[in-house]
Amino acid sequence: MPAGQTLVSLGVATVAAPVIFLSVMLRRARNLAVEPQEPRISCSEDLHRSFSRGVSSVLPLESVRYYHKPRSLEFILESNRFRPFQPQLCTKTSSDSLKGYWICKGPPGKSQLEVESDIVLVLFHGGGYCFGDPLSPAVSLLRVAEIAAARGISTSIFSVEYTLAPEATFPRQQEEAVAAYRHLVETQAIPPDKIILAGDSAGGHLVLSCLIALHREGIQRPKGALLMYPWVTLTNNSPTFESNRHKDVLSKRLLDRCVETVIGERGRVEALNLEDLINPWEPGREHAWDMILPLVTWVNVGRHDVLLHDVQTFVEHARAKGARVHLEIRPNAIHGWNFIVDKNSEKFFCSLSPDDEVPKGVMAGSDCICEGVFNILENDLFAVVGDGD
């Protein structure tokens, strides 16, 4: 990060920290007399969430982008867990129609052509279209491939690199997503019924945007869609933006700044059909989700996520149109919870040897992703897990 941005970031954090601390203490004191409707967040967790939310809402987006950079590839490839499989993992691809990384071609240690795998998981990373990186979830995705292999399912995983804003505005990202899918299907001859499109947050929005475009162009849908806390409408004004505003790490202010950056000069009104995917539309035509979504769509969101209400509304509307959608609502979980949980155990996980058993609770976010993959493969159409609806 340039020295100027570093100074700005340090200044913001220094000023924000005591203000956030005092506001949290006052809020918790006011709420002591109120009977909680759910288990109260611990003070330390409340401070952590509030600091993350408060600082990211005021930092320049360039600084937020810097702090979301992934660990170096060396951390993964030189680790005990994955060093023996270096040539197979995290290989970069860059062509006119496909950019990103093959996180693995077959499970680690069992290299195969991607077309030979039982499934090909194609991931679009999150980050409000303004930050994030295709390698950020690499360790989690490698763990997904391991878990699937233990169930007898061989998996290749591609993480797509798409152009961020402000370098490009929407719908460039949608166009790049469609180009990537077409390349995998048409150039690499991967059957659509082997492909699962996955995305977290803005990546979930991009998956849905891609599926809408595939439908319009008459291109065969993939086998399934895996949406993790998807940002289904960029309008950012649903009830849980208020009710969860002190519980989540995500703020409306940060999301609104991202929208202004990725929509560009068109403005919200003109771009509404691009940003609100709860009821996708275009002049004179309403799209039915049963024609857009794959045979099975799996959706996960945290109970404390500000996007919760939007996600629930999307699922309700999709089901009303005849789409088969599975919803899991994770208790007490925040936006991005699964990758945050995994980040906390990445170092330990990567220190294990390839033959070591992974202790229960380590890389738990990856376990959840696998739940979604297995749900799609098993065609468990309407099950609701956890506290669900």
Tell me the catalytic residues: 201
- Beta-ladder partners of 119: 155
Q: Secondary structure of the chain in the HEC alphabet?
A: CCHHHHHHHHHHHHHHHHHHHHHHHHHHHHHCCCCCCCCCCCHHHHHHHHHHHHHHHHCCHHHHHHHCCCCCHHHHHCCCCCHHHHHHCCEEEECCCCEEEEEECCCCCCCCCHHHCCEEEEEECCCCCCCCCCCCCHHHHHHHHHHHHHCCCCEEEEEECCCCCCCCCCCHHHHHHHHHHHHHHHHCCCCHHHEEEEEECHHHHHHHHHHHHHHHHCCCCCCEEEEECCCCECCCCCCHHHHCCCCCCCCHHHHHHHHHHHHHHHHHHHCHHHHECCCCEECCEECCHHHHCCCEEEEEEECCCCCHHHHHHHHHHHHHCCCCEEEEEECCCCCCHHHHHHHHHHHHHHHCCCCCCCCCCCCHHHHHHHHHHHHHHHCCCCCCEECCC
φ and ψ at residue 28, rounded to 5 degrees: -65, -35
